[in-house]
């Protein structure tokens, strides 16, 4: 539940105003508990400061120094709560109102949704605003526990709210919505983070893969070697260009393309002589980079480019490189639920090859040449929105800390559930750092495990219940031999709630739900 705190209730506590202080203190504790999120309205800052100073002066608290005491007290007090921004609509038409501040608060609380409450003692607000409630009545209210999130993006937003609002507002001000300055700034930051020379952001992870294939001129008759245990987009882009997805089986330990199976598939395609080997497209599943050491050897041997599908693995480390720096072209996605996610679709291609980078930038804008109306190749409308770039800049700034937090949460999971019978944890080979896009376990009786967690209110997901070669979408347009490991994985995997904000208590609830 979201609870907006009005100035009066805050002052009860800040100035220890009797007889209200006791109920208001308890109401604020309840509002800021695990089951609820407590807000102060930015538009109330001045009133809050003014009223508190007045109160302290009247009660002679703090003596001469009551202004400093008020400032210190407010500083400590407000840190417990979230700030709710004042928006333009809060000012519109409020002067005709008897009580402009009450009108503003009513609008502000309505923005938090119909179930949000406005905590107040103001009789006018209590009668005019349906969402208003007194501290005494709020203490009687039942706050149902928040449903457990599979990926908790709200907790991250709480940490980043100020920067995200500032960045968003800056874009609305400058108005350069397409390829604005934030896009170039983000591309430079992404290059620095991954250690690649060139980055071309784009509209989605899917577009990143498509643009990479187009830049390498993959088309009909080409075989693109990839894994069947992945999201549909990987095969989709290959098929869209008329090329053929050729599947090699996965390593059951890492869920990633098994280099030896890959080598066999390339040999088989060459022996058959019908398709032309075009590219290798490994996927860094669940945040763990594929075995690029070995894959690169195979690629060199056959003179094939590598397109790294690191949609789930931005920032993963392996073989001394940060994903997606492993491929001839590396691709990632900024879909909101990916480890580095925007507030909408987004993606990026990375490369050290300046000519490829130029081709990618051309493809991203309809195959544009030197001049806007000079079309030099087929392209797409694949640009990243400036607004998403602005959001991503804020998120990228805290990403290293989040990757660390992800390691900590994974460690806690392993400690808590590592010994459970028949359960297999993700295995991260030595020298690899996973960003854990998913924390995916294996269990031979996955359905039972999922049901037990569901009964305890814990959401889970199955990535992926069907390997790509069994999908009807591209039936007859793919090439593969036996893929037993991918098929077994699709029957056994279960992804658990994960993210940098997952708490120990949740992991403990999961352990107990399964062990009883």
Ligand X SMILES: *Cc1c(COP(=O)(O)O)cnc(C)c1O
Interface residue list for ligand X (CB under 6 A): 204-206, 230-231, 233-234, 283, 309, 311-312, 333, 335, 345, 347
CB atoms within 10 A of CB 344: 15
Return d(Cα 340, Cα 396) in angstroms, integer.
7
Q: Strands 276-281, 222-226: parallel, antiparallel or unpaired by DSSP?
A: parallel
Tell me whether residue 3 or residue 290 sits nearer to ligand X (CB atom): 290
Residue 260 structure tokens: 């030896």
Q: How far is the CB of 119 from ligand X (least distance, A)?
A: 40
Beta-bridged to residue 479, according to DSSP, are 246
Return d(Cα 257, Cα 239) in angstroms, integer.
19
Rounded to the nearest 5°, which phi and psi values hold at 182? -65, -30
Q: How far is the CB of 206 from ligand X (least distance, A)?
A: 3
Tell me whether residue 8 or residue 341 sits nearer to ligand X (CB atom): 341
Q: What is the dihedral of CA 171, 174, 179, 182, to 10 degrees?
A: -50
Contact 4, 28 (CB under 8 A): no
Q: Is the preceding omega at residue 324 within 30 degrees of 0, hence cis?
A: yes
The set of residues, in sequence order, having a beta carbon less than 8 Å from that of 417 and lying 6+ positions away, is 423, 425, 441, 507, 510, 511, 514
Tell me whether residue 7 or residue 238 sits nearer to ligand X (CB atom): 238
- Tell me the CA distances in angstroms from 37 to 103, 288, 332, one per residue in order: 22, 34, 33
Query: Which residue of the chain is nearest ligand X when measured via CB?
Result: 205
State the greatest distance between any 2 C-alpha atoms of the chain, in Å, as a whole number.
93
Q: How far is the CB of 476 from ligand X (least distance, A)?
A: 22
DSSP secondary-structure letter at 234?
H
Tell me whether residue 118 or residue 307 sits nearer to ligand X (CB atom): 307
Q: How far is the CB of 205 from ligand X (least distance, A)?
A: 2
Tell me whether residue 194 or residue 206 sits nearer to ligand X (CB atom): 206
Q: How far is the CB of 397 from ligand X (least distance, A)?
A: 21
Q: How far is the CB of 254 from ligand X (least distance, A)?
A: 14
Rounded to the nearest 5°, which phi and psi values hold at 333? -125, 145
∠ CA 166-168-173, nearest 5°, is 90
Tell me whether residue 81 or residue 335 sits nearer to ligand X (CB atom): 335
User: Half-sphere exposure of 332 toward its Cβ, with a 13 Å CA cutoff?
Assistant: 34
Helices (H), 123-180: 123-128, 135-140, 153-174
What 3-state class would DSSP assign to 37?
strand
∠ CA 511-337-364, nearest 5°, is 155
Tell me whether residue 14 or residue 257 sits nearer to ligand X (CB atom): 257
Helices (H), 248-385: 259-272, 292-302, 354-364
Matching residue, tokens 């004042």: 86
Tell me whether residue 44 or residue 226 sits nearer to ligand X (CB atom): 226
Tell me whether residue 106 or residue 235 sits nearer to ligand X (CB atom): 235
Closest CA to 247 of 482, 485, 488, 480: 480
Q: How far is the CB of 333 from ligand X (least distance, A)?
A: 3
Q: How far is the CB of 209 from ligand X (least distance, A)?
A: 6
Tell me whether residue 11 or residue 384 sits nearer to ligand X (CB atom): 384
Q: How far is the CB of 393 from ligand X (least distance, A)?
A: 18
Q: How far is the CB of 239 from ligand X (least distance, A)?
A: 14
User: Half-sphere exposure of 17 toward its Cβ, with a 13 Å CA cutoff?
Assistant: 18
Q: How far is the CB of 230 from ligand X (least distance, A)?
A: 5
Tell me whether residue 20 or residue 350 sits nearer to ligand X (CB atom): 350
């Amino acid at each position: 539940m979201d609870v907006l705190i009005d100035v009066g209730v805050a002052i009860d506590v800040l100035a220890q105003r009797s007889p209200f202080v006791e109920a208001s203190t308890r109401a604020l504790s309840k509002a800021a508990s695990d089951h609820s999120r407590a807000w102060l309205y930015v538009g109330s800052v001045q009133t809050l400061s003014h009223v508190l100073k007045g109160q302290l002066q009247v009660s002679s608290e703090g003596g001469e120094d009551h202004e400093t005491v008020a400032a210190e007290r407010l500083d400590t007090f407000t840190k417990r709560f979230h700030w709710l921004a004042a928006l333009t609509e809060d000012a519109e038409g409020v002067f005709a109102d008897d009580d402009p501040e009450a009108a503003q608060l009513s609008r502000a609380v309505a923005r938090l949704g119909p179930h949000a409450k406005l905590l107040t003692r103001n009789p006018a607000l209590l009668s005019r605003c349906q969402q208003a409630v007194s501290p005494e009545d709020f203490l009687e209210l039942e706050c149902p526990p928040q449903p457990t999130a599979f990926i908790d993006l709200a907790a991250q937003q709480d940490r980043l709210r100020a920067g995200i609002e500032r960045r968003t507002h800056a874009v609305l001000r400058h108005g350069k919505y397409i390829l604005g300055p934030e896009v170039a700034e983000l591309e430079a930051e992404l290059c620095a983070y991954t250690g690649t020379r060139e980055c071309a952001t784009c509209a989605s992870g899917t577009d990143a893969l498509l643009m990479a294939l187009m830049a390498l001129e993959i088309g009909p008759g080409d075989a693109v070697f990839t894994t069947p245990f992945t999201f549909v987009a990987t095969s989709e882009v290959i098929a869209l260009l008329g090329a053929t997805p050729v599947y090699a089986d996965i390593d059951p330990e890492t869920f990633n393309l098994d280099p030896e199976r890959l080598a066999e598939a390339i040999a088989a395609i060459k022996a058959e002589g019908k398709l032309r080997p075009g590219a290798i497209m490994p996927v860094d599943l669940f945040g763990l980079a594929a075995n690029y050491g070995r894959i690169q050897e195979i690629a060199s041997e056959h003179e094939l480019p590598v397109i790294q599908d690191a949609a789930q693995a931005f920032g993963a480390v392996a073989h001394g490189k940060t994903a997606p720096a492993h491929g001839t072209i590396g691709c990632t996605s900024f879909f909101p639920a990916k480890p580095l996610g925007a507030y909408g679709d987004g993606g990026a291609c990375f490369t050290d090859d300046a000519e490829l980078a130029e081709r990618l930038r051309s493809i991203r804008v309809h195959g544009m040449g030197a001049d806007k109306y000079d079309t030099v190749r087929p392209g797409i409308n694949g640009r990243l929105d400036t607004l998403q770039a602005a959001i991503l800049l804020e998120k990228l700034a805290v990403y290293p800390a989040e990757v660390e937090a992800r390691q900590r949460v994974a460690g806690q999971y392993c400690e808590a559930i590592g010994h459970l019978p028949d359960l297999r944890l993700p295995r991260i080979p030595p020298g690899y750092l996973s960003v854990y896009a998913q924390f995916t376990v294996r269990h031979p009786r996955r359905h039972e495990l999922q049901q037990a967690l569901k009964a305890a209110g814990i959401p889970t997901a199955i990535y992926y219940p069907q390997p790509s070669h069994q999908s009807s979408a591209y039936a007859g347009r793919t090439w593969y031999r036996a893929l037993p490991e991918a098929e077994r994985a699709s029957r056994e995997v279960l992804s658990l709630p994960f993210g940098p904000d997952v708490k120990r208590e949740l992991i403990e609830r999961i352990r107990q739900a399964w062990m009883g």
